[in-house]
A = this chain, B = another copy of it.
Amino acid sequence: MAKTGSRVTIKDLASICNVSTATVSRVLNHIKGGYSGETEARILRAAEEMGYAPNPMARSLVTRKTSLVAVLVPDIHYYFFQEFFAGLEEYLNDYGYRLLLCNTQEDSGQEELFIRGLCNGLVDGIIVSTLNNREQNELLVELDREHFPIITLERYGEDLEDLCCVQIDNFKTGRMAVDYLYSQGHRRIAFIKGRREAKNAEIRYQGYLAGLKKNGLEPDESIVRYGDYSFASATKAMEELLEEGGFTALIAANDLMTLGACKAITKAGRRIPGDISVLGLDRTILTDTHEPSIVAIDFCAHEIGHTVGKCMMAMINNQPLEQKVILQNPVFHNGKSIRLIQR
């Protein structure tokens, strides 16, 4: 039976098989030529029998590749990331890559520490999905210039010019939401925005405004509120809106806020969708399992994970990154990757 935590090295194999470590290495790495079929079989058999497993550190030291990719997230609790991780990990695993999880807890200092600690040989690439931060952008751009693979997810800013930025089409999302509700007969559509500092939240709102305009509706600030992406903030916002009145539908900028708003609506004795139609941006399991069922626009976190993984592997392998151009503009377009989920 093969040993596990074994200390058997390439040298052991070499001496047992009466060959040099170079030959063993060539055989084990399936490098063409440099050994006969007989030698190959002998080495392979010995490796199998002794339960040889290469030491990743030693290998990495010379190849300068670690088969590790780090992903930085501001708060692991967002359900979006769960699906994102699944997709990302799935993709990377197919290439023998492993995922390093870094939860920065929205702490920008922590974040920079993470990045500096990781970029120096521990990982082959870093995926950054955190709040914007001017100073940090500099660091990212600098690393990118040194050809260290960096991919940002949902970051916005002119100073990120040369970076590979994977972005959700927040604008279209907001517009689609209005389109959908308009098509259902709604003419007065309230909106709960995301946090003030979040660029993507702002873009979703711009999409909403564009949607109104496109459908000939007048924007009305009195039925728009800020939230902070949290459940409670949306409940509060919705309570205010209900007092204000004058709308038949609501768009909430993320999943938690969608549920928070629903709570306020139900508490107020109004029915969904009878009295008020609710449409959530960002479909997750939270919106999936909600009763009454609600319509949500899917950002396809799992697919985004795949896409990011694909870009990362391309960058690591110095392959031309076709996606780059597309990704700098919003990645996910209508029919293909944004879908309306209605249960």
Q: Which of B4, B82, B90, B117 contacts A146 (CB 8 A)?
A: B4
Q: How large is the interface on A (under 10, 10 to 19, 20 to 34, 35 or more residues)?
A: 35 or more
The reply to whether B98 and A98 form a contact with Cβ atoms under 8 Å apart is no
- List the B residue with the shortest CB-CB distance to A264: B291
Identical copies in the complex: 2
With A4-B139, A54-B120, A120-B54 in contact, is A76–B85 under 8 Å at CB? yes
Over the window 12-56 of chain A, the binary record of Cβ atoms lying under 8 Å from chain B Cβ atoms (1 yes, 0 no) is 000000000000000000000000000000000000000001111
The residue on B at minimum CB distance from A68 is B100
Question: Which of B77, B79, B121, B146 is A56 in contact with, Cβ under 8 Å?
Answer: B121
Distance to closest chain B CB from A10 (angstroms): 12
For A4, the chain B residues whose CB sits under 8 A away are: 116, 119-120, 139, 142-143, 146, 148
Contact A5 B266 (CB under 8 A): no
**Is the CB of A207 closer than 8 A to any CB of chain B?**
no
Given contacts A53-B116, A76-B85, 4 further A-B contacts (CB under 8 A): A6-B120, A89-B103, A260-B289, A286-B289
- Give the interface of A toward B (CB within 8 A): 4-6, 53-58, 60-61, 66, 68, 70, 76-77, 79, 82-83, 85-86, 89-90, 98-103, 105, 116-117, 119-122, 139, 142-143, 146-148, 231, 256, 259-260, 262-263, 266-267, 285-286, 288-289, 291-292
